[in-house]
Structure 1
Amino acid sequence: MSRRELVVLGSASQTPTRHRNHNGYLLRFDTDGVLFDPGEGTQRQMTHAGVAAAELTRICITHFHGDHSLGLSAVLQRLSLDAVPRPVRCHYPASGQEFFERLRYSTVYHERATVVPAPVLADDWTDGPISAHPLDHRIDCFGYRYTEPDGVRMLPDRLAAAGLHGPAISRLQREGSVLVDGRVIRLDEVSERRPGQTVAFVMDTRPCPGALTCARDADLLVAESTFRAADADLATRYGHLTSTDAGRLAAEAGVRKLVLTHFSQRYPYEDADAFGEEAAAVFDGEIQVARDFDVIPLPRRR
């Protein structure tokens, strides 16, 4: 059975705490397993969460600050240790190629897995279901968007009225039309559009157009919320969002569900719900304040 869910492997920002590991997020989307921003300790967090290296099909690095990338070395070595048989594509800012190579070969190991570097070369770059959008941080940083193509939903009552059943339905889906009793039946006569689902991942950034483009109409938006609203000056200075900024981004983008994460160590773990309350003041959709090892299902289709 296919799964569509986000596994939170870590939800801290620059400094991990007793309750929060550095960043790490796995998107399970049917047969895809996309690992976003593996910070230090991600391999261990994967073990605790029951995430196997063999699940990974892609790794996406938003930028090369340590809390978003130091775990990449161990994850890549784990792919080889487990002899993962399928290629794993790695996305990261092209300007950080040197850092990618350093992390990939930081120690000696027997490289058995196939790792395919696929750096982000330009704004609004696309590779299969993944697109990247420039953010406003202190170094090159990109938000990522996972988009499922639109499909079709067959309508049983129309199929029955058209006299379609069994192999003829499969042929109709494959070829776009079939001949039934001398009449051509087109696919659009017996089906309707099924919108694809979208997950957006916006990490370290000030509010900017790229973040809005990345998050537009997402079913699930994972957004950094490093600072509380009272520390908005710090957020601006260091290139981050506040909880209010994240809520406003979700509202302006028409997001269905917002996951807040990447919390500064300055705030007590016990007060985490306050981030959600601040975001809720400007966004009336569903909000979840991330905690390590949360498993968050994607919302049902629109």
Structure 2
Amino acid sequence: MSAREFVVLGTASQVPTRHRNHNGYLLRWDGEGILFDPGEGTQRQMLLAGVAAHDLTRICVTHFHGDHSLGLAGVIQRINLDRVPHPIAAHYPASGRHFFERLRYATAYRETVALREEPVSGDGGLIADTPAFTLEARRLSHPVESYGYRLVEPDGHRMLPERLAAYGVRGPAVGRLQREGALATEEHGTVTLDQVSEARPGQRFAFIMDTRLCEGVEALAEGCDLLVIESTFLDEDVRLAEDHGHLTAGQAARVAAAAGVRHLVLTHFSQRYGDPDVFARQARAAGFEGELTVAHDLLRVPVPKRLP
């Protein structure tokens, strides 16, 4: 199993269908498990996808329409029932705090897990800063307050064994060189990190749900290795998309192409459409040439391998 993968739990907008559950998505990122927009039925979809409550470390809600949040009650009770041993952070629009509280305490249960509520407000910005990545939120354009999320891994270095050997750096000295950036040696003097490594660009992921085109969409998508974005409507229904605060397949694809996205995942489809292949055709017609996936329930999408 990939240490970095995106697990699709549900892909329907507004109402579930026979083939599509309400929204629900999990990003596995090394030791983190970030659950996005748990709609109704997410707890069962987690079971079908092999996702355990113990896998979760964060919950990110873009907005408080039911198809993106009604599953919170079940998921929160499940993490307490299973006695998840670590704290879990919950990010959501601050204007919807009363909705989150209602869902969190929808029925009686015993709280056993430290669930930290960390609401997002204003234009968003940095909401988590860890040694492994930063997590940002950006305001989107929807009839209710909505945010997209972006994970950015810091740039680093890839150690080159042949250069390490040439400079006589081995064992614990390799780790010390990585930490300190330079190492004093008897034979070669000061050896710097740049002499024995090459740049390793950090990976980037973004999750964009219900929104019209806006600055937040462009900022979130910029340079992503993996972009998950709603495409509720087909291009011929662009006026409906604008009226209801959504994107079309072509709009989402043009954003991804302009942002240099490597792998584009389209999701959140209106129940009015029966053929998912049409979304792919419209995305290609809009000029997106990277890897393209039209999501379906229980799909697993690996984060693309690093660029050299």
Alignment deviations for residues 69-117 of structure 1 (CA, whole Å, 9 cap, x no partner): 0001110000100000100100001111111111111111001111010
Percent identity reads 60
User: Corresponding residue for 2:202?
Assistant: 196
User: Corresponding residue for 1:77?
Assistant: 77
Does the Cα contact within 8 Å between 1:21 and 1:41 map onto a contact in 2? yes
> Residue 263 of structure 2: which of 257, 267, 271 is its match?
257
Following superposition of structure 1 onto structure 2, how do residues 74-153 of structure 1 map, counting pairs within 5 Å? 74-126=74-126, 127-128=128-129, 129-153=134-158
The answer to whether residue 272 in structure 2 is matched with residue 276 in structure 1 is no
> Shift of residue 166 of structure 1?
1.5
User: Corresponding residue for 1:235?
Assistant: 241
Letter in 1 for 2:111: E
Mark the runs of 5 or more structure 1 residues left unpaired by the alignment.
none
> Shift of residue 219 of structure 1?
0.4
Instruction: Write the distance in 2 (CA, Å) between the matches of 1:49 and 1:277.
Output: 28
Letter in 2 for 1:219: D
For 2:282, what is the secondary structure of its paired residue? helix
Mark the runs of 5 or more structure 2 residues left unpaired by the alignment.
none
Instruction: Write the distance in 2 (CA, Å) between the matches of 1:23 and 1:2.
Output: 22
Instruction: Write the distance in 2 (CA, Å) between the matches of 1:50 and 1:139.
Output: 32
**4+ residue segments displaced more than 2 Å:** none
Instruction: Write the distance in 1 (CA, Å) between the matches of 2:241 and 2:198.
Output: 45
User: Corresponding residue for 1:62?
Assistant: 62
Instruction: Write the distance in 1 (CA, Å) between the matches of 2:262 and 2:172.
Output: 37
Letter in 1 for 2:26: L
Instruction: Write the distance in 2 (CA, Å) between the matches of 1:139 and 1:124.
Output: 15
Does the Cα contact within 8 Å between 2:124 and 2:147 map onto a contact in 1? no
Instruction: Write the distance in 2 (CA, Å) between the matches of 1:165 and 1:221.
Output: 39
For 2:205, what is the secondary structure of its paired residue? strand
Instruction: Write the distance in 1 (CA, Å) between the matches of 2:119 and 2:5.
Output: 25
Does the Cα contact within 8 Å between 2:210 and 2:230 map onto a contact in 1? yes
User: Corresponding residue for 2:251?
Assistant: 245
User: Corresponding residue for 1:209?
Assistant: 215
Alignment deviations for residues 119-175 of structure 1 (CA, whole Å, 9 cap, x no partner): 112324211221001111111100101111112111222212212111211221122
User: Corresponding residue for 1:180?
Assistant: 185
Letter in 2 for 1:267: Y
> Shift of residue 2 of structure 1?
5.8
Does the Cα contact within 8 Å between 1:2 and 1:29 map onto a contact in 2? no
User: Corresponding residue for 1:301?
Assistant: 306
> Residue 171 of structure 2: which of 166, 173, 177 is its match?
166
RMSD: 1.1
